[in-house]
Amino acid sequence: MKVYIKAKQFSIGQHLVDFIERKLAKLERFFDRIIDAEVFLSLDGGNSTVRDKVVCVKLNLPGQQVVVNETSKIFEEAIDSAIDSLSRQVKKYKNKMRR
């Protein structure tokens, strides 16, 4: 699976890129025909000093696209929440294809 990561309003570190790729690779345990994933990272919160982190993940499956948006105080938490949601949706999609 190819993973495309884009960050708005900041530059992304290699540690975060590795974390995202490692987490998304785990989705292939549930469904091995995932085409690719697009991850969009951004900061939200206006002018406050502590800004929320927003993660949007688009997962391209054969015939369908799954999109998940999560917000948290740190990127790792938002990514974990997004992966949990994606894993449920991928399992549901796989079961639907079997019928």
* pLDDT tier at 65, thresholds 50, 70, 90: very high
* pLDDT tier at 97, thresholds 50, 70, 90: confident
On the question of pLDDT at 70 being above 90, the answer is: yes
Determine whether domain 2-98 maps to CATH 3.30.160.100: yes
Query: What would the mean pLDDT of 39-67 be, rounded to a whole number?
Result: 87
Phi/psi region, residue 9 (left: phi>0; alpha: psi -120 to 50; beta: rest), is left
In the chain, domain spans: 2-98
Cβ contact 25:34 at 8 Å: no
CA–CA distance, 74 with 59 (Å, rounded to integer): 21
Q: Which two tokens stand for residue 23?
A: 């987490």
CA–CA distance, 14 with 57 (Å, rounded to integer): 18
pTM for the full predicted model: 0.89
Summarised one tens digit per residue, pLDDT across range 1-42 is 899 999 998 899 999 999 999 999 999 999 989 999 999 999
Cα torsion 9, 10, 15, 21: sign: positive
